[in-house]
Amino acid sequence: MYPYLASPIKINKLEVKNRIVYPALGVFFSYDRKLNDRYYNFFREKARGGAGTVTVGPVGVDFIGSGFVVLSLAEDEALPSFQKLTGIIRDEGAAPWIQLFHAGAYSHPILIDGKEPIAPSPIFSNYSKATPREMTMEDIDEVQEAFIRSALRAKEAGFAGVEIIASGGYLITQFLSPLRNKRTDNYGGNFENRVRFPRELIEKLRIKLGPDYPLTIRMAGNDFVPGSNTDSETPAIAAVYEKAGVDAINVTGGWHETKVPQLPMDLPRSAFSYLALNIKRAVSIPVVASNRIANPEKAETILRDGCADMVSLGRVLIADPEWPKKAFEGKADEIRPCVACSQGCTDEIFSGRPVFCTGNPRAGFEGERKVVKTDSPQKVMVIGAGAAGLEAAVTASMAGHRVTLFEKSDDIGGQLFIAGAPPHKNELWEFIRYYRAMIRKYNIPVRLNTDVDMEIVIKEEPDHVIVAEGAEALIPPIQGTDDPCVYSAWDVLKNNPPLGKEVAVIGGGAVGLETSLFVAEKGTIKPDTLHFLFAYEAEPVDRLRELMFKGSSNVTVFEMMPKVGTDVGKSTKWVLFGNLKKYGVKILTNSKVTSIQNGTLTFETEDKTERMNFDSVILASGSRPVKKLSNEIQKLGIPHSIIGDCIAPGKINDAIHGGFMAALSI
């Protein structure tokens, strides 16, 4: 399966067994710059899963450029721990790589003991919220030497290759960018001067590492920041890199401060492969495509179409380290998906916490959370086939228990169908695809259309019961919620009924805002239509943009609190709010709805009572636990677990992780 993806490739004189790269991703498993068992276990599974190269990083070359939350190879004392890690990766059959890192102006002062960050020019950074000190010639020499010393240590530690980071808005991109580099010496101004720092660094590294040692670079295909480098300029930068001595180029997207989504669900799968092709046209060395390459079909297509020579699978291999092995064994349907939710990875990084994965309960806990085959199989009854119950059923089956799954509706999935309905959220349905495959693999009996009661539990005679009843829509205490024009957000997202021209959404949490987008998108043109109209110049560009964002309903959100979206993740909130603005969704805060009558909403603001007329009203006031069995099961004296939203409504990771842990505890 996937012959191009599985084929070997040479980087310099090193042959790598396949075209899959696990790239450097910060995971915050330590706060002392050192490796530990959590890192060892994490990278062992990445290598064991079948990736051709496994990149450790980012790894700082000095303190001022990385701080205390990034791994460091700035001192000789770090060598033994990195030698241990490369041994682990090699023993599992992958080529260990390392990414050397300097943040430049992106260094947060709080992470570098309050010191000033350094950068090409003293320009305030929107990312670190600090103004760096302009680098002197001595600073430039010292940073280049720090890279060289760390690279030599990496070679001594057993890494098969070294990558330097020239993407993300970090130091090298700051030298390259006319937006951030305002120097008037030989390192600023025209293109030749701005590219001087990375060119010199590569040339020096090539001399010190030797001609045969693989040296690669990760670069931005487009900074996606107004005033900085675009994909018109980056091919020339790549050509300089190749001439200076790099052996492969890993192409990613823009800076962390870009307003173009780089990782969440809004970014279509493999959408940035065009950036890799743009660079590939300019060089003759291998090029790696990155960002949202979710499944083997997409990866193979990128290679077949000549867009790149390799693919980077970052968060995808956190969600399932065995992605390569499953793909090559013809088991792609068993790949646990990365749904690009950003909740366990990017949101955690932005909050300074260790990375986990919403859909993979073992990610970051590889040493502790092991599924061990039981010596005493039990008969397990799992009630509820939402995310929590599905994970519990699959994990218990993996552990060797005899599991039967019960579901009151006519299909598995529960609230996953609702959660995946809003625009750009369809990726969540990949969980259903995965659980269907695992149910088949472990031959788990599923009894649909079965509303389990105590009598059924007694009749089944289980050794252990896992209750995952889920939740139901919460009806707020507002007069008139039984008005014919009123729907719940669950009704709208699940059944997609026709709605009127003027639509009100009561509730400004994540569900309310995503439901608002769902409604606002109804009637807009879809990508294939947009492509047709654009290709044939059937409509002016401004009209096409209008048709993309103007649908059949005008949406107004009512929120009684001062802010909306307080339960939305940090890394995706700006994307959600931007989309609400594009679709013209009106948001009223400090507005408490008190009644609904024939479509007329009465609501209280801070100083007055107002009324507005709507054709349709949607209640998005949250959910409440269903505790029909939860409150009764203990009466039977049967060992049991209660998981998911029937404890308290939570996020998808609460459901999946809770189901996993309940199964482990049997």
Report pLDDT digits (tens) over 141-169.
Answer: 999 999 999 999 999 999 999 999 999 99
CB 107 within 8 A of CB 62: no
Q: Residue 68 burial (CB < 10 Å; 0-12/13-18/19+)?
A: middle
pLDDT at 547 over 90: yes
Report pLDDT digits (tens) over 223-264.
Answer: 999 999 999 999 999 999 999 999 999 999 999 999 999 988
CB atoms within 10 A of CB 47: 23
Residues of the chain within CATH 3.50.50.60 domain(s) are 486-621
Closest alpha carbon to 162 in 129, 112, 206, 219: 206
Q: Which CATH superfamily is domain 379-472+625-664 in?
A: NAD(P)-binding Rossmann-like Domain (3.40.50.720)
Residues of the chain within CATH 3.40.50.720 domain(s) are 379-472+625-664
Locus of tokens 């002392």 = 32
Report pLDDT digits (tens) over 165-193.
Answer: 999 999 999 999 999 999 999 999 999 99
Strand order in the sheet with 592-597: 592-597, 600-604, 609-613
Reported as a pLDDT band with limits 50, 70 and 90, residue 347 is: confident
Mean pLDDT, the chain, as a whole number? 96
Q: Please tell me the predicted confidence (pLDDT) of residue 72.
A: 97
Report pLDDT digits (tens) over 61-117.
Answer: 999 999 999 999 999 999 999 999 999 999 999 999 999 999 999 999 999 999 999
Report pLDDT digits (tens) over 5-55.
Answer: 999 999 999 999 999 999 999 999 999 999 999 999 999 999 999 999 999
Reported as a pLDDT band with limits 50, 70 and 90, residue 607 is: confident
CA–CA separation, 263 and 291 (whole Å): 7
CB 594 within 8 A of CB 479: yes
* CATH architecture of residue range(s) 3-350: Alpha-Beta Barrel (3.20)
Helices and strands counted in the chain (H then E):
23, 28
Residues of the chain within CATH 3.20.20.70 domain(s) are 3-350
Domain 486-621 has CATH 3.50.50.60: yes
Q: Please tell me the predicted confidence (pLDDT) of residue 62.
A: 97
Report pLDDT digits (tens) over 635-647.
Answer: 899 999 999 988 8
Q: Please tell me the predicted confidence (pLDDT) of residue 264.
A: 87
Q: Please tell me the predicted confidence (pLDDT) of residue 545.
A: 96
Reported as a pLDDT band with limits 50, 70 and 90, residue 566 is: very high
- Long-range CB contacts (within 8 A, 24+) of 487-496: 487/616, 487/617, 487/618, 487/619, 488/618, 488/619, 488/620, 489/515, 489/618, 489/619, 489/620, 490/418, 490/623, 492/518, 492/519, 492/618, 493/418, 493/421, 493/422, 493/518, 494/417, 494/418, 494/421, 496/421
Put simply, whether the predicted model's pTM sits higher than 0.85 gets the answer yes
Q: Residue 637 burial (CB < 10 Å; 0-12/13-18/19+)?
A: exposed
DSSP symbols for 59-121: EESSSTTT-SSSEE-SSGGGHHHHHHHHHHHHHTT-EEEEEEE--GGG--GGGGTTPPPEESS
